[in-house]
Amino acid sequence: MNSAGKANPNKAQARLVLEDGTFFQGVSFGYERSVAGEVVFNTGMTGYPETLSDPSYKGQILTLTFPLQGNYGVPDQKTSADLSTKFESGAVQISALLVSDYSAEYHHWDSRQSLGTWLKRARVPALSGIDTRALTKKLRERGTMLGKIEFRDKKIDFYDPNLDNLVQQVSINEPLEYGSGKTKIALIDCGCKHNIINSLLARHVRLIRVPWDYPLDQLHFDGLVISNGPGDPKSCRQTILQIRQTIARDIPLFGICLGHQLLALAAGANTYKLKYGHRSQNQPVIELNSRRCLITSQNHGFAVDNATLPDEWSPWFVNLNDDTNEGIRHISGRFRSVQFHPEASPGPVDAGYLFDDFLKMVRS
C-alpha cells in the first residue's frame, strides 16, 4: 500500500513504514532524521501545541486525523522550568508527527513561529501528504503498530517504546515546590502535564512535585496526586509501592490517566493494552452513580480491567464508546482516580470539578 501527496522537488521526501510492510510516502516539514516508535492517532481538531508537548506521547509517532495542521502557528516557548498555560511540558515529546495537509503560513495573535520551525528546533521529524484517513483505518483494524520514518537511504530498525521505562525518562530528577497554601499536596511526576500543576495551584495549595520513584515516607503531606505519563504502567514498580504505602497511611489520593492505572495496580487489579487507545478531546464518559455524562480529553494506550478490581474497589466512570473503565474508587471514598484528564489542555473542562471534590475531601 502506498499513499503519496504531490511531489515537491524542493522538499525532502521520506516515508512511514509500518511493521507489516505498509508504507506511506510523505514530504518533510520538520527535522530530517530517521526515527522509530509506536504509531498512534489523535482525533482532536485543535490543540497541537499542548498535544505535542504532552509527556504521555513519549516514544510515539503521532498521526493527527484532522486534515489541516499548522494554520495557527505556535506560541513562544520560554524555558523548560516555565509552568506554561500554552504547553504541557518544556519540550516536544512526540518522536515524530504525521499530517495530511501542513500550512507553513499561519495566523494567530499569540503565534511566534510556525509548527515546522518549532519541530525543526526540537529535532522532531514531521511529514505531510500522508493519507491519514487510510492510516487511521488501518490502525483501528489492526491495532496500534510499530513504525519508522526513513529519509532516503537512512534505514533504521523498529523500536517498541513500551519495553522501556518511559516514565523514568520524562519525570523530574529532584523535588520542586510551588505555592504557599495551608494544604500540602504531594504530586508524583510520572510525566506530569503543566496544567495539572496549574489546576492545583489555582486552588491555593502548597505543592511538592517529586520524581516517579521518590520515597514518600520522607514527606509530610495532606493529599497525594499521581500524574499522567507514558508507557506501560507495570514498568513503574517503585511508584506502585509508594502508592500502597500512602494508602496504608490513610492519606487521600487522586490518580490521573497513568496515575489511575498505577492506583489500580497498587490496589491489586490488572491493566491491559487497548487495541488502539483513546487519544482525543471528545471522549464521552459517564459517572455510574449520578449518571452524569462528561466530554473529556484523553491520551492513553492501556486500561484497567474491571473484572480484576478487589471487593473494596468499584468502577467510578465508564467510557460510553467502548465500555472500558474510566475511573475507580475505594469504598471509603478516600482513594480515587480517573482515566481521563480533568485538567483538559487541550479539550473541554467538564471534569475540572474533580479537583475541587478531591481537595474538599483532603481539607475536611
Query: Residue 75, Cβ neighbours under 10 Å: how many?
Result: 18
Q: Is 236 a catalytic residue?
A: no
CA distance 28 to 15: 9
Rounded to whole angstroms, how far apart are CA atoms 20 and 68? 27
In angstroms, how far is CA 38 from the centroid of its own chain? 14
Distance CA 213, CA 218 (A): 12
Largest distance between two CA atoms of the chain: 66
The residue from 88, 150, 326, 343 that is catalytic is: 343
In angstroms, the CA 212 to CA 215 distance is 9
- Active-site residue flag, 257: yes
Tell me if residue 65 falls in helix, strand or coil. coil
Residue 223, SS3?
strand
Cell numbers representing residue 314 in the block: 468499584
Q: Catalytic residue among 257, 278, 300, 326, which?
A: 257
Neighbours of 79 (CB within 10 A): 7
Using an 8 Å Cβ cutoff, are 88 and 49 in contact?
no
CB 40 within 8 A of CB 301: yes
Report how far apart, in Å, the C-alpha atoms of 31 and of each of 16, 125, 244 are.
Answer: 15, 4, 43
CA-based nearest residue to 204, from 179, 221, 227, 223: 179
Preceding amide of 346 cis, omega within 30: yes
Antiparallel, parallel or unpaired: β 126-128 and 23-28: antiparallel
Active-site annotation, residues: 257, 341, 343
